[in-house]
Amino acid sequence: MPDCENGHWYRCHGLLVWSAFAIPQMLAAASPGTADIRIETGPEAARTVALARAQPDAGQGVVWQSPQGGLCFSVADVGDFWIPHGHTINITPHSAVDIPTLALFTMGSALGLALLFQDTLVLHCASLAIDQSSILVLGASGAGKSTLAQHLSMNGYHALGDDTCALWRVAGASAPVIYPSGTAFKLWRNALDAVGIDPAGHQSVGQRLDKYFVANARAADDRPHTVSRIVVLEKSDGKNCKPVLEPLDKLDAMQTVTEYVYRPQFVGALGLWEGQFSQISKLVAGTEVLRLTRPWGHEFMPEVVDLLKTGQSNMDSREPIKLL
């Protein structure tokens, strides 16, 4: 059982967060205040999960409606989580869990659920910024979102976040804004080897994974950044194929972005799909969505980065697409 007696203040997704335990990948807050989200530990989450799973209609899903309100879920050997609304995350840590693993699931699934309660669109992506604008990098698990984001951050981009991104609507604006959500990317050992980084000098993501936090010296400022481009990663058919960057039409863009809604089972359990579709429709209407098809391999990363930086695709038109 981790020691959760001392509290910590953070900034994440534009919100002030208080946590009972350390979450290394969150940005430290300059000063305490009235928390937008409180992350509490205690027995309440375990009791709530037990009650929810005992309900006749609980089913075999991964998330359950709580009789006391909100949703709850459990992760074996990590903890029980109860999110009654968008401003509190209750956790009962399991006895064998370490702080990095507990923090990983808290900043991911638990915080993502709390953000859904606040009527945001949450996407599974990495995010980077240049000046006032931002670019989202979407892709399936293992597609190399974090690895590409790390390479881009070494080539002039500023890191906003890794894994999740909350898009906030702004009255009268054509595109939503995002805020920084973390201080580091999570990279597998082979990705570190590819860029010459020694894993021994970096904190492990958790006891289950051969994955490490890599702090980004070019972290973006804690302010809103307008979403200007979305890049969706896809694998090319053969290793000899050149990376190609092509725009998606609005219908294809909407269908593609919908595939990367974070934790769709949470969206369904809350009955939020109609609102999420509306937000995605507005997002793609005011944002260019591009498909980046490239070989999967670290040896191709310099060419991919150059393509994104220059915006020069290998399309027949040979016209540059300026990303930012």
Q: Are residues 126 and 106 in the same domain?
A: no
Q: Are residues 228 and 292 in the same domain?
A: yes
**38 located within any domain:** yes
Q: Are residues 93 and 105 in the same domain?
A: yes
Across the chain, what does the average pLDDT equal?
Answer: 85
Using alpha carbons, select from 60, 102, 57 the residue that is nearest to residue 81: 102
pLDDT at 35: 96
List the single range of 135-139, 161-165, 175-179, 201-205 with lowest mean pLDDT.
201-205
**126 located within any domain:** yes
Contact 12, 24 (CB under 8 A): no
Q: Are residues 148 and 57 in the same domain?
A: no
State phi, psi for 136 to the nearest 5 degrees: -105, 135
Is the pLDDT score of 143 beyond 80? no
**131 located within any domain:** yes
Is the pLDDT score of 199 beyond 50? yes
d(CA 196, CA 73): 38
Q: Which whole number is the average pLDDT over 228-249?
A: 84
Q: Are residues 58 and 173 in the same domain?
A: no
The last residue of one of the domains, among 93, 117, 141, is 117
Q: How confident is residue 6, by pLDDT bands cut at 50, 70 and 90?
A: low
Buried b (16+ CB within 10 A) or exposed e, 56-86: eeeeeeebbbbeeebbbbbbeebbbbbbbeb
> pLDDT tens for residues 68-89?
999 999 999 999 999 999 999 9
Q: Are residues 231 and 161 in the same domain?
A: yes
Q: Are residues 138 and 278 in the same domain?
A: yes
Using alpha carbons, select from 104, 110, 55 the residue that is nearest to residue 82: 110
Q: Which has more pLDDT, 191 or 151?
A: 151
Total structural domains within the chain: 2
Q: Which has more pLDDT, 322 or 162?
A: 162
> pLDDT tens for residues 255-310?
999 999 999 999 999 999 999 999 999 999 999 999 998 877 777 777 888 888 77
Q: Are residues 98 and 24 in the same domain?
A: yes
Is the pLDDT score of 194 beyond 80? no
**3 located within any domain:** no
Q: Are residues 148 and 231 in the same domain?
A: yes
Q: Are residues 163 and 29 in the same domain?
A: no
Q: How confident is residue 141, by pLDDT bands cut at 50, 70 and 90?
A: confident
Q: How confident is residue 314, by pLDDT bands cut at 50, 70 and 90?
A: very low
Using alpha carbons, select from 304, 290, 291 the residue that is nearest to residue 148: 304
Q: How confident is residue 313, by pLDDT bands cut at 50, 70 and 90?
A: very low
Q: Are residues 128 and 59 in the same domain?
A: no
Which residues span the domain enclosing 108?
8-117
**101 located within any domain:** yes
What are 123's strand-pairing partners?
A: 165, 261
Is the pLDDT score of 228 beyond 50? yes
pLDDT at 44: 97
The last residue of one of the domains, among 86, 117, 148, is 117
Look up residue 66 and give its amino acid.
S
Q: How confident is residue 131, by pLDDT bands cut at 50, 70 and 90?
A: confident
**316 located within any domain:** no
Beta strands in 54-156 (DSSP E): 64-65, 71-75, 79-85, 88-93, 121-130, 133-138
> pLDDT tens for residues 31-45?
999 999 999 999 999
What's the CATH number where 154 sits?
Answer: 3.40.50.300
**172 located within any domain:** yes
pTM value?
A: 0.86
Q: Are residues 65 and 128 in the same domain?
A: no
Is the pLDDT score of 170 beyond 90? no
Using alpha carbons, select from 113, 65, 109, 108 the residue that is nearest to residue 86: 113
* Torsion region of 72: left, alpha or beta (phi above 0 gives left; psi -120 to 50 gives alpha): beta
Place of tokens 């702090």: 215
Angle at CA of residue 297, ends 296 and 299, nearest 5°: 140
Is the pLDDT score of 317 beyond 50? no
Alpha helices in the chain (DSSP H): 44-53, 99-105, 111-117, 145-153, 189-194, 250-258, 264-270, 273-285, 301-310
pLDDT at 109: 95
Give the count of alpha carbons within 13 A of 25, CB side only. 33
Using alpha carbons, select from 77, 99, 93 the residue that is nearest to residue 21: 99
Residues sharing a CB contact under 8 Å with residue 100, sequence separation 6 or more, in sequence order? 24, 203, 204, 205, 206, 207
Contact 58, 64 (CB under 8 A): yes
CB atoms within 10 A of CB 36: 17
Percent of residues, the chain, with pLDDT higher than 70: 88
Q: How confident is residue 132, by pLDDT bands cut at 50, 70 and 90?
A: confident
